[in-house]
């Protein structure tokens, strides 16, 4: 068994050192062509849709469903309410159901701008909440979901170039931005209160006022989704050298 594990590790390191070309089904675009950005838009949308199955050689997981990141804590309080909410065990569904994609890459600043519209994205999670709600004590562990209807994600990735084993690579440098614009968000928390009708009323009120709710959460959704997209993108970049990402370099 140890020999098998050692062999797998050696093969993995060999692939990382030698670098890989793009997966066979991924489209490659020519930097020198006038249609580079439209080509890139088509290529990215096609790549996302192919990740209904994992590309393990490239460290790319399946996107439908996608599991992660680990956890997130949100706190909110005013004169009548004080809540500490911990979200764990995130699972995303719908990330391969893309309806449109627009991408542009600036080679001088190494910045990728990406707009993606999905049919529907469902985020499932485990949920712990403690504190008080309108002076009513709350302390429960439960599950829930948020369904984003026709969300548009606007992302900006900052990349930096480095050399590894005499090959040029990109990596995500951090400081990226994400804004999202759904048509609606439907909240479905389970059994927050012993009285089921009260939980239903909370879900209804949050869904009807989703813009206010997400504002209170201080950017939870942008941080959550940016972590997902950066993690996946970085896995591809670390394995495929820059000359194998684009033609015309």
Question: pLDDT at position 17, please?
Answer: 43
Instruction: Summarize the confidence of residues 45-54 as an average pLDDT.
Output: 93
pTM for this prediction: 0.82
Helix axes 220-239, 2-18, angle to 10 degrees: 90
Question: pLDDT at position 23, please?
Answer: 80
pLDDT in tens, 129-179: 888 777 778 888 989 999 999 999 999 999 999 998 888 999 999 889 999
Given a cut of 60, is residue 9 above it in pLDDT? Answer: no
Print the SS3 string covering 41-76.
HHHHHHHHHHCCCCEHHHCECCCCCEECCCEEEEEE
Distances (CA, A) of 42 to 27, 34, 101, 118: 8, 14, 7, 15
Give the sign of the dihedral formed by CA 50, CA 54, CA 60, CA 64.
positive
Question: pLDDT at position 27, please?
Answer: 92
Question: pLDDT at position 227, please?
Answer: 87
Give the sign of the dihedral formed by CA 233, CA 85, CA 193, CA 78.
negative
Residue of 240, 241, 237, 233 lying closest to 48 (CA atoms):
233
Predicted confidence band of residue 228 (pLDDT cuts 50, 70, 90):
confident
Strongest mean pLDDT among 119-123, 192-196, 231-235: 119-123
Q: Which residue has the higher pLDDT, 1 or 200?
A: 200
Q: Read off the tokens for 106.
A: 């600036």
pLDDT in tens, 179-195: 989 999 999 998 877 66
pLDDT in tens, 61-98: 999 999 987 778 877 666 667 788 888 999 999 999 99
Question: pLDDT at position 196, please?
Answer: 65
Instruction: Summarize the confidence of residues 29-49 as an average pLDDT.
Output: 96
Q: Read off the tokens for 177.
A: 């931005």
Domains of the chain from N-terminus onward: 2-247 (3.15.10.30)
């Amino acid at each position: 068994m140890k020999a098998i594990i050692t062999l797998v590790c050696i093969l993995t390191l060999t692939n990382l050192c030698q670098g890989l070309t793009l997966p066979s089904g991924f489209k490659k675009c020519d930097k020198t062509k006038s249609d580079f950005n439209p080509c890139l838009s088509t290529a990215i949308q096609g790549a996302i849709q192919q990740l209904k199955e994992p590309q393990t050689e490239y460290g790319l997981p399946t996107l439908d469903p996608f599991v992660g990141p680990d956890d997130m804590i949100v706190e909110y309080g005013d004169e009548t309410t004080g809540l500490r909410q911990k979200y764990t065990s995130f699972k995303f569904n719908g990330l391969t159901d893309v309806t449109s994609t627009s991408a542009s890459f600036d080679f001088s600043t190494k910045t990728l701008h990406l707009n993606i519209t999905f049919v529907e994205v469902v985020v499932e999670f485990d949920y712990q909440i403690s504190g008080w709600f309108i002076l009513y004590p709350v302390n429960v562990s439960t599950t829930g979901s948020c369904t984003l209807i026709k969300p548009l994600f606007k992302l900006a990735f900052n990349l930096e170039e480095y050399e590894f084993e005499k090959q040029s690579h990109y990596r995500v440098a951090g400081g990226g931005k994400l804004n999202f614009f759904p048509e609606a968000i439907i909240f479905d928390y389970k059994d927050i209160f012993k009285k089921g009708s009260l939980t239903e009323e909370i879900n209804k009120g949050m869904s009807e006022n989703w813009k206010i709710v997400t504002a209170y959460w201080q950017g939870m959704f942008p941080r959550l989704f940016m972590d997902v997209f950066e993690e996946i993108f970085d896995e591809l970049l670390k394995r495929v050298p820059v000359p194998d990402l684009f033609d015309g370099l």
